[in-house]
């Protein structure tokens, strides 16, 4: 495998994790929003990754990651009885997204660590390349 392929693989991981972090941030930002009907409620989103394999043999062998899709959760909205709320429906209910903030925080931590691991791969590869170049001096 080409040494430069390492940077492409790590970059694909960082791009995917960056989108995952943005998605989690969006979910957390909308966790406390309300709507006057079930259909208007924000639905949590989740990123689905897909492996991209290069040639299985030869100098360019390697695998990367890409985002296959961003899916919306199918969980029902949570109904709260708040008859004084201006967004309440005719029965006095407002609806909020069914987002578990703790799960989102765990997902954010996992994504952040994966991103940091990819940065560490880039830094280590760079240091090894520079050490190799210094051997010729």
**Model confidence pLDDT, tens digit, residues 7-50:** 999 999 999 999 999 999 999 999 999 999 998 899 999 999 99
Cβ–Cβ < 8 Å for 60, 75: no
Number of H helices, E strands in the chain: 2, 4
pLDDT digits (tens, 9 = 90+) for 73-130: 998 999 999 999 999 999 999 999 999 999 999 999 999 999 999 999 999 999 999 9
| Of 109 and 64, more confident | 109
Q: What's residue 56's pLDDT?
A: 46
Q: What's residue 99's pLDDT?
A: 95
Task: For residue 120, give Cα distances in angstroms to 23, 31, 69, 109, 114.
Answer: 23, 32, 26, 16, 10
């Amino acid at each position: 495998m080409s040494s430069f392929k390492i940077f492409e693989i790590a970059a694909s991981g960082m791009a995917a994790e960056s989108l995952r972090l943005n998605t989690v941030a969006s979910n957390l930002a909308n966790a406390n929003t309300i709507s006057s009907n079930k259909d208007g409620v924000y639905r949590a989103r989740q990123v689905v990754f897909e492996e991209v394999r290069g040639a299985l043999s030869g100098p360019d062998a390697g695998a990367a990651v890409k985002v296959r899709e961003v899916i919306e959760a199918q969980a029902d909205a949570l109904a709260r009885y708040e008859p004084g709320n201006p967004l309440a429906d005719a029965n006095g209910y407002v609806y909020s997204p069914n987002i578990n903030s703790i799960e989102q925080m765990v997902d954010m931590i996992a994504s952040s660590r994966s991103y940091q691991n990819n940065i560490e791969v880039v830094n280590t590869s760079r240091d090894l390349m520079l050490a190799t170049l210094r051997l010729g001096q």
